[in-house]
Structure 1
């Protein structure tokens, strides 16, 4: 049986080394590359030609979901398993709307990781129980994040919560700083904030960070 060509994007050196070693010994999979950042990963993808991505959600610069969007412009059919320690509704709503085929917490064990990876490689989906529970509760809310914020607003809010300026956010997302400010203004209106500090406070109060 043909091994599934797999590429890893993970900024934590020790965890990336574990994934590389573990994946190299895993039957049915072939490690074709690894990168510590989204930017480096996008440079390596055309040469690596992976069929499956293992992506850390929290990365320096572009985050894992922005990497996934860029990867699919290069390889439209590539599948993805997202790994993260984040469990807030904003992060998980963004994962759902990214179209990633799987999500698993980094606290999971190797057996859970193998099962999730195999399910995604086989053309299916694999989302952790915590992921499903969190999104189930969020979707039941009249003001759930996916109901009141657009995908771009969610993306901009994630960068604001990470402490990035409008200019930094614009460079990472690939839009103008003026457009970022437009989305920031919309976010303040929707979350009842009059300034950036209130926006962050209100977002945290609503469980978005």
Structure 2
């Protein structure tokens, strides 16, 4: 089971998210909730078992999501963080990525995106919702190159896929499951807006991931 902890100052949102995760036969266990950053750190000290992942809002009263994230990285670097927020300004997304998050989805996203994000992140595959990726890449194009970068794992998948290896061959090379390879590929296509495998190859060549 993937253990998570929900941090959001809106009680209806917390309750709705918890109800969905606990009542749809999902591989997810909610260890608790907090309505603020202060409340989160008090409760983390009281838990017998730390959550694998925190679902974190940004706009909260006593500590912002950015401040909570900074403290989490200092005190609990092993906990993965999925940002789940209505605040989707590029500056905020970029700042949280620089501090270190495993994923970011908008509160407007459907619940199946939340499930996909939790499962992907639990398998060490970063997850950024389609709308979040579009914001990052659109602003990057306007500012001249400030774009989201592939993770080390994604670069490996790009390299092997562009070299003509099948999904199974990539899985064997990277010592991961075929399902995880597929998740990496789907995440790459979503993150960078690729339509075809050739788009990915061209990107890999242009950014020096593979050399012709």
Return the TM-score normalized by structure 1: 0.63
2:173 — aligned with what? none
Mapping of residues 90-129 of structure 1, within 5 Å: 90-129=91-130
Mapping of residues 1-150 of structure 1, within 5 Å: 3-25=1-23, 26-48=25-47, 49-142=50-143
1:130-181 C-alpha deviation (Å, 9 max, x unpaired): 21121123233448999xxxxxxxxxxxxxxxxxxxxxxxxxxxxxxxxxxx
Provide the secondary structure at the position in 2 that maps to 1:123: coil
Provide the secondary structure at the position in 1 that maps to 2:104: strand
**Which sits farther off after the overlay, 124-133 or 25-34?**
25-34
Mapping of residues 183-202 of structure 1, within 5 Å: none
1:55-107 C-alpha deviation (Å, 9 max, x unpaired): 11111121112112212323221101101112222122122212111111101
Provide the secondary structure at the position in 1 that maps to 2:81: strand
Count the aligned residue pairs. Answer: 144
Does the Cα contact within 8 Å between 2:137 and 2:146 map onto a contact in 1?
no
Provide the secondary structure at the position in 2 that maps to 1:81: strand
Equivalent-residue separation in structure 1 for 2:106 and 2:77 (angstroms): 25
Q: Cα–Cα, structure 1 residues 143 and 60, in superposed 2: closer, same or farther, change >3 Å?
A: farther
Equivalent-residue separation in structure 2 for 1:142 and 1:109 (angstroms): 30
- Extract unaligned runs of 5+ from structure 1: 147-209
Does the Cα contact within 8 Å between 2:22 and 2:30 map onto a contact in 1?
yes
Equivalent-residue separation in structure 2 for 1:142 and 1:120 (angstroms): 29
Return the TM-score normalized by structure 2: 0.62
Equivalent-residue separation in structure 1 for 2:85 and 2:12 (angstroms): 15
Equivalent-residue separation in structure 2 for 1:143 and 1:39 (angstroms): 38
